Amino acid sequence: MANSKMISNQEQTPSIQRKELTDYNILKAIESNSSVSQRGLSSQMQINVASVNFALKRLIKKGFIRMVGINPRRIKYFVTPEGVREKTQLAYRFFGRNLHFYKEVRCDIEARIAKATNGKETEIAIYGVGGLAEITYSVVSLMKWQFLGFFLEDSKDTNEGILSHEVQTLESLKEMQSCLLLLTDELSEDFISHNNLDTLNLLNYYKQYSDEMDME
């Protein structure tokens, strides 16, 4: 059978991984809300409506999702028992891939920070509160660098904490001594240059895996 060959984590291409992540997020969203629209899925997942439509058709054809209704404004989607099993299998595959990634990325992050600081003791701050921020902190906390905390822009919600640390605003970072700001989330280049921040953009290296780590 054409589909009998299993694709290992090492064999999976980025395009396959993105497709699986899209499928998982759609199944998860529909399982939570059967009335969610394609536009709503597009907004939640931050991909265009055409990509959502294509993925939905594929999932329906495979029997993972059942569509009910004719009027586009009243269509409902339901995850089938086969779809529930597929979502679980996808979650397990992500877990295995991310566990392998986690071990490798810790060493890589440490090497990148050491290179950026020339091996000198430096004050470190982390921008972001997602999965990549947590992995980055697990590296920083074991090194000789002084950790200043987790930061977000003023416009973002900072009422949450992460790993027993209060999330601070970037405004408060300006009042501290110069440090290296590790970017684990999007931050505009204009903001960085305007405030003369010394940064190391980790998100550029790990964006695809960061999306997978942040899925719930």
CA max distance for the chain = 64
What's the domain count of the chain? 2
What is the predicted pLDDT for the residue at 107?
A: 86
The residue with greater pLDDT, 154 or 131, is: 131
DSSP state of 69: -
Q: Contact, 177 vs 123, CB < 8 A?
A: yes
| CB-count exposure of residue 22 (10 Å: 0-12, 13-18, 19+) | buried
The dihedral through the CA atoms of 191, 141, 148, 133 has a sign that is positive
- Same domain (yes/no): 30, 128: no
- Same domain (yes/no): 74, 168: no
DSSP state of 153: -
**pLDDT higher than threshold 50 for residue 52:** yes
Among the ranges given (48-52, 95-99, 152-156), the one the predictor scored with the smallest mean pLDDT: 152-156
What is the predicted pLDDT for the residue at 93?
A: 79
Give the SS3 label for residue 178.
coil
**pLDDT higher than threshold 80 for residue 62:** yes
In a domain, 135, yes or no: yes
- Same domain (yes/no): 116, 206: yes
The residue with greater pLDDT, 92 or 167, is: 167
CATH number of the domain bearing residue 188:
3.40.50
What is the predicted pLDDT for the residue at 9?
A: 37
Single pTM value for the model: 0.55
In a domain, 92, yes or no: no
What is the predicted pLDDT for the residue at 117?
A: 86
Q: Give the residue among 144, 187, 188, 152 at the shortest CA–CA distance from 168.
A: 152
Alpha helices, DSSP H, located in the chain:
14-32, 38-45, 49-61, 81-116, 131-140, 170-174, 189-194, 203-213
Full domain range(s) for residue 109:
103-213
How would residue 208 be classed by pLDDT, with cut points 50, 70 and 90? low
CATH number of the domain bearing residue 37:
1.10.10.10
- Same domain (yes/no): 40, 126: no
- Would you state the structure tokens that stand for residue 50, as one six-digit string? 């055409």
- Would you state the structure tokens that stand for residue 103, as one six-digit string? 């071990």
Which residues on adjacent β-strands are paired with residue 79?
65
CA atoms of 79 and 31, how far apart (whole Å):
6
CA-atom Rg of the chain in angstroms: 20
Q: Contact, 74 vs 42, CB < 8 A?
A: no
What is the predicted pLDDT for the residue at 126?
A: 94
The two beta strands, 76-79 and 65-68, are antiparallel
The residue with greater pLDDT, 125 or 7, is: 125
Element (H, E) at 199: strand 198-201
Q: What average pLDDT does this structure show over 104-114?
A: 87
